[in-house]
Amino acid sequence: MPGKDVIASLTPMLSVNDGLAAIDFYKNAFGATEIGRVDDNGKIIITEINFLGIKFYLSDESVETGNISPKKAKGT
């Protein structure tokens, strides 16, 4: 358990069906900026996105590794 002087935070990681479209959506809808990206022939392995000083990560789903999107899971 952290002491009272420790600041803890959570950084969301989103798994999506179409990473490139999701990145464009966050940029256009919210003015987000993409900090960095690792991709493999257009498949987003991971990207860091900043929105109003809040960072989150996003990746394309990878069924092979068990990283599925809400669309594949048929829910949220």
Q: Look at the pTM and tell me if it is higher than 0.85.
A: no
Query: Residue 31's pLDDT is what?
Result: 96
pLDDT of residue 9: 79
Residue 3 has pLDDT above 80, yes or no: no
**More confident site: 76 or 69:** 69
Contact criterion met (CB below 8 Å) for 71 and 21: no
